[in-house]
Amino acid sequence: MLYHLLFPLAERWAVFNVFRYITFRSAGAVMTAVLLSLLLGPGFIRTLRRLSVGQNIRELGPQAHQLKAGTPTMGGLLILLSVTVPTLLWARLDNPYVWIALLVTLGFGGVGFVDDYLKVKRGRNLGLTARAKLAGQLVVGAGAGVALLLLPQFETTLTFPFFKAIELDLGWFYVPFVMLVLVGTSNAVNLTDGLDGLAIGATMIAAATYAVFTYVAGNAIAARYLNIAFITGVAEVTVFCTALAGASLGFLWFNSHPAEVFMGDVGSLALGGAIGIVAVLCKQEIALIFVGGLFVLEALSVIVQVASFKLRGKRVLRMSPLHHHFELSGWAEPKVIVRFWILALLFALLSLSTLKLR
């Protein structure tokens, strides 16, 4: 919005020329997102308490978590607001990639909102059925895939880190592939959201990492130099990524241990959808395995645990997801969180190395 309002004034006042630069508007987006979160957070949390929107804690988890029962949840609404407003303010609104990223995020957030609302209404940790939640995610994912196919400038090729000469054109199969990426990432972030600040901290790292990927993918010179796919216009999604990183940082202020508010499924599903769609837009879907390495480990821990118990009748971990295993092994919650953040950062650095390594 600001670009369309102020950049035309650059013909008369040169100072407004800064709005042409994605880096300037990305910086504005991250600062706006952080400030919005910090300013609205206290009142938002008070409102959740007044409405008795409290978290229900499952009895099977670590017993120390029972003390968190009643903590306000659905804080993901604050995250969505802190992502949406800066994106609309600082991004070019004539860019289709920005709208796809934003609408997918809100779509997954909508599925999570319904799930959270049912949990609060019923007073139990039971919201949507697994089938209904998956159906909602698949619908949003299919919509994103079809929208991308309808864009004449977007290619359905799949690129591979370390093997940049290899490309695979999926054609119409790109739609189910996008659905798989979005649903998988969304649920992986949802599984990671089990400790105070864990998922939001890892999301902030992933969003900042994809800000780099989107910027270089949308820059013809940088893309050519790094031998990665050049996508005209996708650099504008950098503004969305920095807004996401800023919103994550702002929410972490309230979600850090001991958490004053939880994001709920409206937050975790939306954040996973956001990361997934950005990976698709900048043609770095496979790199998502590295960028979101922590999320992948958490999801795999659940898959391995369930498969082992069904096939062998034995558990591999004390408890899944993986963060609960380390809690039950004697690690204090803050130690698990910080060490997992460090792991997420190492995965992010590894993913960035794929830009140069062939």
pLDDT in tens, 239-249: 999 999 999 99
Give the lowest-confidence range in 38-47, 91-100, 182-191, 348-357. 348-357
Give pTM, 2 decimals.
0.94
pLDDT band for position 56 (50/70/90)?
low
Tell me the C-alpha distance between 327 and 317, whole Å: 11
Mean pLDDT within 129-149 = 95
pLDDT band for position 6 (50/70/90)?
confident
pLDDT band for position 311 (50/70/90)?
confident
pLDDT of 259 higher than 90: yes
pLDDT band for position 139 (50/70/90)?
very high
Structural domain contains residue 46: yes
Closest CA to 274 of 105, 143, 113: 105
Structural domain contains residue 235: yes
Structural domain contains residue 266: yes
Closest CA to 79 of 215, 234, 204: 204
Tell me the C-alpha distance between 188 and 303, whole Å: 11
pLDDT of 188 higher than 60: yes
Structural domain contains residue 210: yes
Q: What is the pLDDT of residue 289?
A: 94
Answer for the pair 241, 208: CB distance below 8 angstroms, yes or no: yes
pLDDT band for position 122 (50/70/90)?
confident
Residue 149 lies in domain: 23-56+65-155+163-353
Structural domain contains residue 8: no
pLDDT of 70 higher than 80: no
Q: Going along 50-183, which residue ranges are E strands?
A: 157-160, 163-169
Structural domain contains residue 7: no
Structural domain contains residue 201: yes
Q: What total of structural domains would you count in the chain?
A: 1
pLDDT of 63 higher than 60: no
> Token pair of 31, please?
């600062």
Structural domain contains residue 10: no
